[in-house]
Structure 1
Amino acid sequence: MLSVFLKLHLSVFIAGFTGLFGRLVSLDAFWIVFFRMLLGGVVLAAFLIVFRKLRWLGFKGTISCMIAGAILCTHLILFYLAIKLSNVSIGVVCVSTIGFFVALIEPFIVKTKFSFTDVVYSLLAILGVLVIFGFDSRYRLGIAVGIACAVFSAIYSIYNKRIALKYDNYSLISWQLLGGTIFMAMLLPFYYLIEGQWSLHFSFSDAFYLLLAGVICTAGLYYLQLQVLQTLSAFTVMLSYNLEPVYSIILAMILFDEASELNTSFYVGILVIIISVALKTTKSIHVANRVRNIGN
């Protein structure tokens, strides 16, 4: 059991590291996501084929997974664009507002009961971002893009939860990465029309970090997550992933000295977001305990 928790927190740490590629790689957000999806998809598919874990999910299932991959790509492009326009800390804090959009969107898509409490708690996270937005004008465009990123992240989370109940998780992730890569390839002509050039100039460090992003922080990360979910509950994993933005911010402050780029409004805003996460976590634990007691 100890090894499972070590894998869990290793996966959380790796997830926290992914935002750093927005500053470590000189390429723009589009190319970071393109190579991350391509390399991650190839490595994971090859691994699953060798160990005979890759399954055909039928036409409908495969298309559903590929659509999820396209939504995931859109989220990631906006995520890295937000970081490029601001910094890692701002980017990951904006994504922390995902809870608000999940609480708002999920009842309409999944037809679940609307939770007024979830919306109120999540509004605290929005308030935290607004504090940062209102008092620090340097990163307003990055914050706006980060909020859009959170919207797509919420859509992906809801959509993925629906299809994850129907299909083998290893195959699901692999087909998602393939679908994301195909989606990115379809965007290439539009990228050229917008940019007027390919803007694809590698340095050795870019190649190294993209390889790391694809192999370790995509294929390796998803594989670790799936292994952990075989032993631990999705609830335990979800709570642990609340640490992801904390890891990202700490690493960004160590590697890029981002503390010098942030003012008091950032720390006030992130405190409000932490309170929001703590309240939602407390509620989730209470609900889980109540369900467990009913089961007993």
Structure 2
Amino acid sequence: MNRQRALLSIHIAAILFGLTGIFGKLIQGDPSVITAGRAGFAVLALVAFMRFQGTSPLHGIKQRDMRVMALAALMLAVHWVTFFMAVKIAGVAVATLGFASFPAFITLCESLFFKEKISKDEWLILLLVTAGLVLVTPSFNFRDDATIGLAWALLSGLAFALFALINRRAAAGIPAQQVACWENLFVLVLTAPFAVSTVAQLGTLDWLWLAMLGIMCTALSHYLMVASLSVLNARSAGIVIALEPIYAILFAAILFGQYPTLRMIAGGMLMIGAIIWSGLRQVEKTHTA
């Protein structure tokens, strides 16, 4: 893969990530059904891909790896369920911008659990994200559905931050598609009992959206991101992935007429800018270490 194809791949991955909320809005099912279906189709796609490569999901996996991946999958399941709750309640724009707070949660969790000192720049990034969230918040009244949805989105961001921290250990020395396969399988097992009672209510079109969500926005997007990182540096990839909320809001405006207010746009710009800055700082740390 050359640089031009790598840039195209990472942009496609960001667009697919941005479509996640769109499919969540289109599927006429509750968040547990959407999460279970997404995970199930992703497992099928990843197993097929590994068989095509001549590898097995079981290759080199140890019992300790299973325990760590199961814990990561628990956080992933919470992340997906709460994100789709936010989409259903408040819409794609609010859900996506609320979830975009996860880098700030990662910084706070690293400080809390690993006793890593937060630098002045990191405090400034946290302040920018907080200011962005204040602007994004429709009102400070929990009788407002949009505010409740944003709260679910923030919980989704926190769960994803914990998933990312656990996944650093889960992914150590194991191929990315193998980790993704097992974690999606665990998500399916965790959410299937809650989805069984309502799965019969899904229509034919819902199953199509679920398949696209699991195959395109989960399995394919993950593969494209990993493949592009074999050519691009983390700085270039991080800047593109930070565009995910913009893609999501654009699609929501076109498909559902969900237009963000100027206040939300200003808050989103603050948050996305802080996320990009945070990513650039991590790259600089890596280069100077």
The two structures share one fold, judged by TM-score above 0.5: yes
Tell me how far 1:221 sits from its aligned partner. Answer: 1.6
- The residue type equivalent to 1:29 in the other structure is P
Matched, 1:243 2:227: no
After TM superposition, give the deviation of residue 58 of structure 1 in Å: 0.8
Q: Find the aligned partners of 1:134 and 1:15 in 2 and give their Cα distance.
A: 24
Gaps of at least 5 residues in structure 1 are none
The Cα shift of 1:168 comes to 2.4
The alignment status of 1:213 with 2:217, answered yes or no, reads: no
Using a 3 Å threshold, how does the CA distance of structure 1 residues 118 and 269 change in structure 2: closer, same or farther?
Answer: same
What CA distance in whole angstroms lies between the structure 2 residues aligned with 1:26 and 1:198?
A: 10
Instruction: Tell me the equivalent position of 2:39.
Output: 37
Shift of 1:286: 4.6
Give how far 1:254 is off. Answer: 0.9
Higher mean displacement: 68-77 or 128-137: 128-137
- Partner Cα separation in structure 1 for residue 277 and residue 65 of structure 2: 36
Of the candidates 271, 274, 284, which is equivalent to residue 273 of structure 1?
Answer: 271
Q: Distance in 1 between matches of 2:218 and 2:273?
A: 30
CA contact (8 A) 1:100 1:123 kept: no
CA contact under 8 A between 1:70 and 1:180: conserved in structure 2? yes
The 5 A counterparts of 1:108-127 are: 108-127=112-131
Distance 1:89 1:222, change over 3 A: same
Q: Separation in 1 of the partners of 2:229 and 2:270? A: 30
- Per the TM alignment, residue 272 of structure 1 is displaced from its structure 2 partner at its CA by 2.6
Distance 1:76 1:92, change over 3 A: same
Q: Which amino acid aligns with 1:217?
A: C
SS in 2 for 1:258: coil
| Maintained 8 Å contact 2:234/2:283 | no
The residue matched to 1:19 in structure 2 has which SS?
helix
TM-score by length of 2: 0.88
* 2:159 counterpart residue number: 152
Structure 2 counterpart of 1:182, from 189, 192, 212: 189
Partner in structure 2 of residue 25 of structure 1 = 27
Contact 1:66 1:178 in 2 (8 A): no
Distance 1:110 1:3 in 2: 38
Deviations, residues 163-187 of structure 1 (Å, cap 9, x unaligned):
22332222111111111111113x4
Task: Pick one of 32, 54, 64 that aligns with 1:60.
Answer: 64
In terms of mean alpha carbon deviation, does 61-70 or 148-157 score higher? 61-70
**Structure 2: how far apart are the matches of 1:118 and 1:73?**
28
Cα distance between partner residues in 2 of 1:278 and 1:144: 23
CA 1:74–1:138: 2 relative to 1, 3 Å = closer
When the two chains are superposed, the root-mean-square deviation of aligned CA atoms in Å is: 2.3
SS at match of 1:26: coil
Report if aligned partners of 2:96, 2:245 keep a CA contact under 8 Å in 1: yes
Q: How much has 1:57 moved relative to structure 2?
A: 1.2
Residue type at the aligned position of 1:239 = I
Q: Residues 9 and 134 (structure 1 numbering): CA distance in 2 closer, same or farther, change over 3 Å?
A: closer
Q: Is the 8 A contact 1:53 1:171 kept in 2?
A: no
Change (3 A) 1:183 1:135: closer
Paired letter, 1:16: G
**How does the TM-score come out when normalised to structure 1?**
0.86
Whether 2:263 is the aligned partner of 1:256: answer no
Q: Tell me, yes or no, if the aligned pair for 2:239 and 2:276 is still in contact at 8 Å.
A: no
Match of 1:173 in 2: 180
Gaps of 5+ in 2: none
Structure 1 residues 272, 156: closer, same or farther in 2, change over 3 A?
Answer: same
2-structure distance, mates of 1:61, 1:51:
22
Would the aligned equivalents of 1:36 and 1:210 in 2 still touch at CA under 8 Å? yes
What's the counterpart of residue 135 of structure 2?
A: 131
Once the two structures are superposed, the pairs formed by residues 69-148 of structure 1 within 5 Å of their partners are 69-133=73-137, 135=139, 137-148=144-155
SS at match of 2:242: helix
Separation in 2, partners of 1:161, 1:219: 19
Counterparts in 2 of 1:241 and 1:198: CA distance versus 1, 3 Å = same
Amino-acid identity (%): 22
Please give the secondary structure, in 2, of the residue aligned with 1:230.
Answer: coil
In 2, the alpha carbon distance for the partners of 1:106 and 1:76 equals 22
